Amino acid sequence: MTLAHVDEALEKGVRLEAICERLGVAPRTIQRWRKPATAEDRRCGPHTRPANRLSEVERRRILAV
């Protein structure tokens, strides 16, 4: 529904930046919303474990509490 309103405003000549400011979102957010569901997710997450990760013993202790 929001994208329909965005498209309607764009057709009337409102700038995307003004629309995004009014909605409180970044223009990149609108681009992501328009991305087809079949598009590949190219985000790269961390490939290593964080140095401050809990040990298994610490994790079990916390879960027990």
Q: pLDDT tens digit string along 6-65?
A: 999 999 999 999 999 999 999 999 988 888 877 787 778 878 888 999 999 999 999 999
State pTM to two decimals: 0.53
Question: What pLDDT is stored for residue 44 in this prediction?
Answer: 81
Question: What pLDDT is stored for residue 10 in this prediction?
Answer: 94
> What is the rounded distance in angstroms from the CA atom of residue 24 to the CA atom of residue 62?
38
Q: How many CB atoms lie within 10 A of CB 16?
A: 13
DSSP code at position 37: T
